[in-house]
Amino acid sequence: MEQLRRELAIGFDIAELIPQLGQLRIDVFQDFPYLYAGSLEYEQKYLQAYTLNPLSMAFCVFDGDQLVGATTGMPLSAKSTDIQQPFIDRGLNTDEIFYFGESILLPDYRGRGIGHLFFDVREKHALENGFKVTAFCSVVRPDDHPSRPVAYRPNNDFWKKRGYIEQDYCCRMSWQDKNEAEETEKELQFWTKEWK
């Protein structure tokens, strides 16, 4: 960890990180459970949204010039209606919720506490900016999914240990799986933590 450089970018400053962030998302999310067949073109559009909100953040970890890990977040109120709606339906104030995007780390850098650091940095940013709830969603795949590696380790215990509660509400997002010819809709479950 000592030799790794850390960088926190906020709002428009995220723009210059987009090419590397997009490539890292494609590299990490091609694996189960995401199985994402991404393109840099899609990534450019998706990540552009982070540059448009002054409270968006991207925290990056570099080994030399190479981006090896990153985590992102933005106010829930800046996300699409599909993502906000489950919270609105439950009478929650979306202005108080900070939404975590991805946490992505190349396999060689895992198991050294960087995943915890990603939570620490995002939670600090959310609380410093007055948010009362932090939230994220996670793709739901069946336990017997044919692409699930035998040694696959879900993050659920990690998230619970961080104080996050698995909610019974979901949203849907579409992307193309590696073995699919076109996009299909996936169910993603919300996890939230309330800060008193």
Judge whether 68 and 60 are in contact, CB under 8 Å.
no
Helices (H) and strands (E) in the chain, counts: 5, 7
The DSSP bridge partners found for residue 184 are 175
Q: Considering the rule CB under 6 A, would residue 104 count as an interface residue with ligand COA? A: yes
Q: Considering the rule CB under 6 A, would residue 43 count as an interface residue with ligand COA? A: no
Report CA-CA distances (Å) from 128 to 71, 108, 194.
17, 32, 14
Report, in Å, the least distance between residue 66 CB and ligand COA: 15
Tell me whether residue 10 is exposed, middle or buried, using C-beta atoms within 10 angstroms of its C-beta: 0 to 12, 13 to 18, 19 or more.
Answer: middle
DSSP-assigned letter for residue 53: -
3-state secondary structure of 110: coil
- CB burial of 143-172 (b: ≥16 within 10 Å; e: otherwise) equals eeeeeeeeeeeeeeeebeebebeeeeeebe
Report, in Å, the least distance between residue 176 CB and ligand COA: 18
Report, in Å, the least distance between residue 150 CB and ligand COA: 14
Q: Considering the rule CB under 6 A, would residue 145 count as an interface residue with ligand COA? A: no
Question: Can you tell me which of 45, 110, 124, 172 binds ligand COA, judged by CB under 6 A?
Answer: 110
Interactions with ligand COA, residue window 151-180 (CB under 6 A): 153, 155, 157-158, 161
Q: By beta-carbon distance, which residue lies closest to ligand COA?
A: 115
Report, in Å, the least distance between residue 10 CB and ligand COA: 20
Nearest CB to ligand COA, comparing residues 11 and 32: 32
Site size toward ligand COA (CB under 6 A) is 17
Nearest CB to ligand COA, comparing residues 54 and 172: 172
Looking at residue 37, its amino acid is A
Report, in Å, the least distance between residue 125 CB and ligand COA: 17
Interactions with ligand COA, residue window 20-39 (CB under 6 A): 28
The site for ligand COA (CB under 6 A) is made up of 28, 102-105, 110-116, 153, 155, 157-158, 161
